[in-house]
Amino acid sequence: MSSTTKPQPTITLYRGFPGSSTYTWSPFVTKLETRLRLANLSYKCQAGSIPNAPRGKVPYVAISQPDDSIKGEKQEEPVVIADSTLIVEKLVKDEVIEEELNEGLDPVEEARDLAVRALLEDKLNFYQIHEKWIKNYYTMRSKVLDSIPWPIQIIVGLIIHRGVVKTLHGQGTGRFTDAEISVFKREVWESVNALLVAAKRGGGTTSVEEGGEGEEPFWVLGGKGPSEADTTVFGFVASTLVCASAPESQQIIRSFPVVLDYARRIHARYFPDYECWE
């Protein structure tokens, strides 16, 4: 019996930042890249831009179907999708990603996976937006708006800043003091660290002190393989550690050796072509 391999579409990932072989400051970009690499999918990186992005945010992707020169039909326009979760759902639905990471989870494990993702994406993310765009505004502005001429940077930066202030106030984070937000951030990372410590202990992996870097990854739910939660956790760890506008979050993460070990192992296994954060 002969088997045929389904041609893979061309995936162009727009990350919002120029350059390659480096992590971006966006945890959602790194989350999506991690998912693509777990699925062993190749992709191209481009900067893209917010004005051209569906839903007005990055990451977004353009998916082009393989050229069918035999039929000679006109190629369809690339499908452009935004939002890391919706992108993965589309790739799974179209069978570009053949394996669903959470397929083998029982209902309790699925709930834990969703809870971990929500803790970071719907809670920690706003604390970090506050740190980046309020406490370290000028560092963030110079990075995000680097390609824009200086006088325009000031105007666009002020527009973004006002929008962030309004969003954070409506969401609730903007109603807390800096000290209170710092406590909330540490509590989130303490919870993530507790999960990873338990997962590492249960998996019997080599400890940091014994030279764990570069060995097989361990996963946040303690299973033999990753779940969707791992793409989010790694996305937030790696992107925070390279983000110059998140010094407080970097300090918190670096105070947890197991969290660092978790990220180093995934980096070594799935991102050997990328510069590490150290």
**CATH number of the domain to which 19 belongs:** 3.40.30.10
Residues 228 and 260 in one domain: yes
Q: Report the distance separating Cα 113 and Cα 102, nearest Å.
A: 8
What pLDDT does 76 receive?
Answer: 73
User: For the chain, what is the mean pLDDT?
Assistant: 90
- Asked if residue 54 belongs to a domain, the reply is yes
Contacts (Cβ under 8 Å, ≥6 apart) of 192 = 116, 119, 120, 220, 233, 259
- pLDDT tens by residue, 69-82: 445 555 678 899 99
What pLDDT does 210 receive?
Answer: 44
Length of the chain: 278
Domain stops at, among 60, 93, 126: 93
* Selection from 167, 154, 182, 184 nearest residue 247 by Cα: 182
- Asked if residue 101 belongs to a domain, the reply is no
Average pLDDT over residues 87-115: 93
Confidence of residue 208 (pLDDT cuts 50, 70, 90): very low
- Checking if the pLDDT of 226 tops 70, the result is yes
What pLDDT does 72 receive?
Answer: 55
Domain stops at, among 93, 121, 136: 93
Residues 170 and 253 in one domain: yes
Query: Range of 194's domain?
Result: 107-270
Q: Compare 18 and 82 and report the one with higher pLDDT.
A: 82
* Selection from 41, 52, 38 nearest residue 11 by Cα: 41
- pLDDT tens by residue, 104-128: 999 999 999 999 999 999 999 999 9
Residues 163 and 254 in one domain: yes
- Checking if the pLDDT of 12 tops 60, the result is yes
Number of domains in the chain: 2
Residues 87 and 138 in one domain: no
Q: Compare 99 and 131 and report the one with higher pLDDT.
A: 131
- Checking if the pLDDT of 130 tops 80, the result is yes
- Asked if residue 98 belongs to a domain, the reply is no
What pLDDT does 215 receive?
Answer: 86
